Amino acid sequence: MTASTHEKEARKKMEKALEAFQHEIQTLRTGRASVGLLDTVDVEVYGTKMKVNQLATITTPEPRLIVVTPWDKNQLRAIEKAIMASPLDLTPSNDGQVIRVPLPQLTEERRKELVKMVGKLAEEARVSVRNTRRQIVDSIKKAQKEGDIPEDDAHREVARIQELTDEYVKKIDEALQHKEEEIMEV
């Protein structure tokens, strides 16, 4: 592996860890409607499980309301049941055309639980980034011992991987801070 190959591989893996973290926190309920909130809901239709966003258009016309408009009206009841059965603790209502999902006000206790949960998810993402750093640095050191990379180049590459690690940990921390502020907003 060349120096730029190590960096590209590290960047790719760290970016995946960041994206996974951002997707996870997007699905957490913050008291404000978000179309990503229903991304984790599986609906049993057509003999298989599908995500709600594969069966309907999801919109947020108001800050505390999600509206689900199924493309096939025959699936209204199945989508409604799946939302009720999800761990999101939401109570949808169906008028025969669309499903309305009002978001109740979060209690202070629930907000604090969500902040702790987001913190744990952030730490998992940081660990993933650090594991990537460790793997790439090990790979660089191995290549150096085998004589594929000169010692000076290896040191520079390890320093660059550390810079990348710091950059991605900072991005994770920024996303965490933004989500905590969003959760604690009244």
Residue 122: band (very low, low, confident or very high) from pLDDT cuts 50, 70, 90:
very high
pLDDT at 1 over 80: no
- Do residue 62 and residue 12 come from a single domain? no
- Do residue 22 and residue 112 come from a single domain? yes
Region 5-9: mean pLDDT is 89
Q: Which of 102, 130, 147 is the last residue of a domain?
A: 102
Length of the chain, in residues: 186
- Do residue 93 and residue 135 come from a single domain? no
Query: Residue 164 sits in a domain of what CATH number?
Result: 1.10.132.20
Closest Cα partner for 35 from 21, 53, 22?
53
Domain residue limits at 52 = 35-102
Measured CA to CA, the distance from residue 54 to residue 90 in angstroms comes to 20
Query: What per-residue confidence (pLDDT) applies to 29?
Result: 65
- Do residue 113 and residue 93 come from a single domain? no
pLDDT at 3 over 60: no
Q: What is the pLDDT of residues 141-160, one digit of tens each?
A: 998 898 888 888 889 999 99
- Do residue 88 and residue 113 come from a single domain? no
Query: Residue 65 sits in a domain of what CATH number?
Result: 3.30.1360.40
- Do residue 18 and residue 40 come from a single domain? no
- Do residue 115 and residue 172 come from a single domain? yes
- Do residue 118 and residue 72 come from a single domain? no
Sheet holding 56-62, edge to edge: 56-62, 65-70, 99-102, 93-94
- Do residue 115 and residue 180 come from a single domain? yes
Number of structural domains in the chain: 2
- Do residue 122 and residue 141 come from a single domain? yes
Q: What is the pLDDT of residues 61-108, one digit of tens each?
A: 888 889 999 998 888 898 889 888 887 778 888 888 899 988 877 788
Q: Which of 102, 128, 146 is the last residue of a domain?
A: 102
Q: Which of 102, 135, 153 is the last residue of a domain?
A: 102
CA separation (Å) from 32 to 60, 94, 104, 140, 186?
Answer: 9, 20, 9, 46, 10
- Do residue 129 and residue 84 come from a single domain? no
- Do residue 134 and residue 82 come from a single domain? no
Residue 31: band (very low, low, confident or very high) from pLDDT cuts 50, 70, 90:
low
Spatial neighbors of 21 by CB under 8 A, at least 6 apart, are 121, 122, 124, 125, 172, 175
